[in-house]
Homo-oligomer: A and B are copies of this chain.
Amino acid sequence: MSPCVHHIRTTFTKYIHETQNKICQSLEKLDGKSVFEEDAWQRPGGGGGKTRIIRNGNIFEKGGVNTSIVHGKLPPEMQKQFKTTHDNFFAAGISLVLHPQNPFVPTTHANFRYFELMDSDGQCVDSWFGGGIDLTPYYLDVANVKHFHTTLKAACDSVQLGLYETYKNQCDTYFYIPHRNEMRGVGGIFYDYLRPNAPLQIEQLLALAQNNADAFLKAYLPIVAQNAQKSYTSEQKKWQEIRRGRYAEFNLVYDRGTLFGLKTGGRIESILMSLPATVRWEYNFQPEPNSAEALIIKHLQPIDWVHFCEHRAI
């Protein structure tokens, strides 16, 4: 039996374009000032994408909500990564990163992608889904983080119980900065190479992507709405920029997708739209003990946020 089901490509492609529109509209409405600008691009080897960027908004300092549908010959580096001799591929994905102005509003990232591998006759030989959503706050608001994780758990649970826990652990493992011994943020969910059959059939994998992508706005927008009008000092902005330095360190040193794109001729500006607008590196910056800045650092570790007690001392 072919590992591909005919309608998945078209269904997923249609879904991510609709989702791109829906997310951009919701974010524009919330921002109230800036709108997304679109750069449509073609890939020389086949396919292309729509990069949509928002900048200098009331709420969003810099962000992107991108889709790409690419196909053609698999570059040798990707053959090596996928451990395959086949070299025909199709890939569709939506990817977003949002960097808010206000340090009390967390940065967020989400990505959902579908991949097919074909033999030289064009017959499908492999297919898989990957994806994730995660949150990077600059200050800790336990209720916000619990809401974020609980929303993602509900989205995963509706496909199969236990998935959230697995993907949450994978997220904790993936978004980790070894040289800082801290996570990039407070996690979320992350999965890759999910092939149909075990534990999920192809329709469940599609539903998983859709449930999670649909959950994104429910998980993130209330957090933005609650914090975006808070006043902040220049010192708090500076703290946000220092923490953005860690975000850049993770993306440039460790993030597989970023490095892979940079080193295999991906569209550089679409890949690096994930980097914050302004970043600061101070030598050996240490937050004051027991400060709000020290508090968030303590929580950039694997924590069971769904069951986390708000009044627990850490």
B178, B179, B280, B284: the one contacting A278 at CB < 8 Å is B280
Give the CA-CA distance A273 to B281 in the complex, in Å.
8
Chain A residues with a Cβ closer than 8 Å to the other chain, count: 31
Q: Which of A253, A259, A263, A281 has the most CB of B within 10 A?
A: A281
Give the residues in chain B near A232, CB-CB below 8 Å. none
- CB pair A280 B279 closer than 8 Å: yes
Give the residues in chain B near A280, CB-CB below 8 Å. 277-279
Give the CA-CA distance A279 to B273 in the complex, in Å.
14
User: Which residues of A are interface residues toward B (Cβ below 8 A)?
Assistant: 39, 53, 55, 62, 64, 178-180, 241, 245, 248-249, 252-253, 259, 262-263, 268-269, 272-273, 275-284
Write 19 A-B pairs (CB below 8 A) sorted by A numbering.
A39-B284, A55-B282, A55-B283, A179-B262, A179-B263, A180-B268, A245-B279, A248-B279, A248-B281, A252-B252, A252-B253, A253-B259, A269-B283, A275-B281, A276-B281, A277-B280, A278-B278, A278-B280, A279-B279
Q: A178-B262, A179-B262, A269-B284 are in contact. List 12 more A-B contacts (CB 8 A).
A: A53-B284, A62-B281, A62-B282, A62-B283, A180-B268, A248-B248, A252-B252, A272-B281, A273-B283, A275-B281, A276-B281, A278-B278
